[in-house]
Structure 1
């Protein structure tokens, strides 16, 4: 068994830094390990160097970033990162991947995190090739890792139906919110003057934002509120854009694309209601952030949200 408390040096893969939910998971882990005095080596895409140095300046002394010219799931990441891991193998006690994007060479002491199994569901909104690539990476990660972190019992149960190998490998470790969402109860100036209901998350199919917009459109004339949508946007024109035009509701929707944490905290603090209509999740961090900041929450009735809330 690998014991975190005995670790002195760790490789924590950072190719998902700034990558929506997994990126936030990476940030929280990195800061928490650094606070415990663990030396961290981490690969970060060069284009994110400025953001990284800003976000981790308070714990920079315990982190040794390796800025690389490739990104996650690229061919370069598969081959070039192998060389980096070989060089670190005698230095670090553990190699920790916050996702399943393992390179060609996998050190013996490697653990991975499985966040969800959306590619196995009807909610997968990318092409079939990427679905197959995910399945290949997942099978390899499950076989190569000594332990598998799953972020909820719901995901653990789903994973066990796919691969019996994880019976003795899987460990459920729930996600946790960043300290900034714990210590942000000070009075800060309101960002929006209008009353509003809030959604936070990416704009993928399983988030069910289309239903939220249609429901809001039905009651918009009975309430003074605006609908605020905050999160990553993958396509130049997506379902949100199409519905705004189709329903002629653009003037009642306020968007924040890839907002920083300070903006999110402000939005949570002053929202009259947080709505999370997701159809499928591995965990569901935004509702937890909202609850912690005393924002009333409406959730969809799905297994994972029943488990957490």
Structure 2
């Protein structure tokens, strides 16, 4: 049996952790566990992380080597140095971007947001990612995406052949990797019920509609706890000036996030556009009742385990919040449904399907002159 080399583009180790980096980290950890368990034969497939220097995230891995190479950083490292160090194997890219001069690669493109919601991004960002996607659809051996919704979007906008793109869902076990922090909860909440929102403050997350909805509701007998993001610019003069009911926490670590999910009376996520929607899945896996948008990939991921709202209607969002917070039986039912729904998603399943895809790709070897 000939050993096949699979290199993983680990540029994500130098980036702050958002959903995309979370996907890459959890997927690599899960592949490492599959090797440890013997589900992947290390004499058949050899996985190696290839990363630029200056990593800010570390991974504890038993079987996958982490190799720091090159002198460049960011996109320059990815485009000019990464292909050189992966010339004798298949390259797996997990975070949307990939080198445009390497043919022997598989790339995850999480969504088509640069096409569908272009106003969310700068002109240069949109132009660069559209270029990368247009090249990747041609040179990548296969494309992975997070949902059937994203698959349809990428086929529509990028004209990717349907046979070349595979839907592989994300997992949720990472939310339980860290113990909850009850002391953290006591510092921010005095036993009052609270509505939780987790947001990057990106316009696409539609956070402003939550504030508008709460304003429409008038005085409420619960707190609104907001986690995530680094700058609460959303609290502008166009929004309520009485912020006494709001608890803005900024960045929270994984233990604190688990604590919030497990103790919130409701989690709300009225995003306009999602390729998957990891926070609602994390909330469901934590037994938290969820309100989400009735758009994009969210119905596909959440099924009948959540309460839906129109993200364009603050009035309907307010009605959904009022209904959820005022109905203990509804919350109990959705807790049960959410826990059951979350069982359908796991990083082990995700990594197993990606490894199966890699084996399919390796069976159709490129000619030796074009493997770089």
The interval holding the TM-score normalised by the smaller chain is 0.7 to 0.9
Q: Among residues 161, 166, 169, which one is paired with 1:171 in the alignment?
A: 166
What are the Cα deviations for residues 11-42 of structure 1, in whole angstroms up to 9, with x where unaligned? 12222343411001001111011112264322
How far did 1:278 drift?
A: 0.4
Check conservation: 1:197, 1:275, Cα contact below 8 A: yes
**Could you tell me how far apart the structure 1 residues matched to 2:66 and 2:22 are?**
19
Q: Give unpaired runs (5+ residues) of structure 1.
A: 1-5
What are the Cα deviations for residues 79-132 of structure 1, in whole angstroms up to 9, with x where unaligned? 12232223xx2xx4x311013322243142x11011111111245322222211
**Given the alignment of the two structures, is residue 216 of structure 1 paired with residue 209 of structure 2, yes or no?**
no
**Could you tell me how far apart the structure 1 residues matched to 2:116 and 2:208 are?**
18
What are the Cα deviations for residues 240-291 of structure 1, in whole angstroms up to 9, with x where unaligned? 2425x85224443323333221121111111111001001100001111101
Q: Quote the residue 2:81 is aligned against.
A: 80
**Could you tell me how far apart the structure 2 residues matched to 1:217 and 1:167 are?**
45
Higher relative contact order (CA 8 A, sep 6+): 2
Q: 1:8 to 1:197 in 2, by over 3 A?
A: farther
Q: 1:249 to 1:297 in 2, by over 3 A?
A: same
Check conservation: 1:34, 1:62, Cα contact below 8 A: yes
Larger Rg: 2
Q: Quote the residue 1:11 is aligned against.
A: 7
The size of the alignment, in residue pairs, is: 285
**Could you tell me how far apart the structure 1 residues matched to 2:183 and 2:212 are?**
27
Q: Quote the residue 1:132 is aligned against.
A: 127
**SS of 1:221 mapped into structure 2:** coil
Q: 1:290 to 1:75 in 2, by over 3 A?
A: same
Check conservation: 2:267, 2:290, Cα contact below 8 A: yes
Q: Among residues 261, 273, 276, which one is paired with 2:269 in the alignment?
A: 276
Check conservation: 1:191, 1:267, Cα contact below 8 A: no
**SS of 1:103 mapped into structure 2:** coil
**Could you tell me how far apart the structure 2 residues matched to 1:133 and 1:12 are?**
22
Q: Quote the residue 2:143 is aligned against.
A: 148
**Given the alignment of the two structures, is residue 254 of structure 1 paired with residue 247 of structure 2, yes or no?**
yes
Q: 1:42 to 1:297 in 2, by over 3 A?
A: same
**Given the alignment of the two structures, is residue 100 of structure 1 paired with residue 105 of structure 2, yes or no?**
no
Q: Among residues 295, 298, 322, which one is paired with 1:302 in the alignment?
A: 295
Q: 1:237 to 1:41 in 2, by over 3 A?
A: same
Check conservation: 1:190, 1:270, Cα contact below 8 A: no
What are the Cα deviations for residues 30-61 of structure 1, in whole angstroms up to 9, with x where unaligned? 10111122643224454434x31xxx22x244
Q: 1:271 to 1:46 in 2, by over 3 A?
A: farther
Higher alpha-carbon deviation: 198-207 or 143-152: 198-207
**Could you tell me how far apart the structure 2 residues matched to 1:43 and 1:213 are?**
43
**Could you tell me how far apart the structure 2 residues matched to 1:146 and 1:207 are?**
32
Correspondence 1:204-243 to 2 at 5 A: 204-219=202-217, 221-225=219-223, 227-233=224-230, 236=231, 238=233, 240-242=234-236
How far did 1:70 drift?
A: 4.6
TM-score (ref. length: structure 1): 0.82
Q: 1:287 to 1:76 in 2, by over 3 A?
A: same
What are the Cα deviations for residues 142-165 of structure 1, in whole angstroms up to 9, with x where unaligned? 111111101100011111123444
Check conservation: 1:209, 1:277, Cα contact below 8 A: yes
Q: Quote the residue 1:3 is aligned against.
A: none
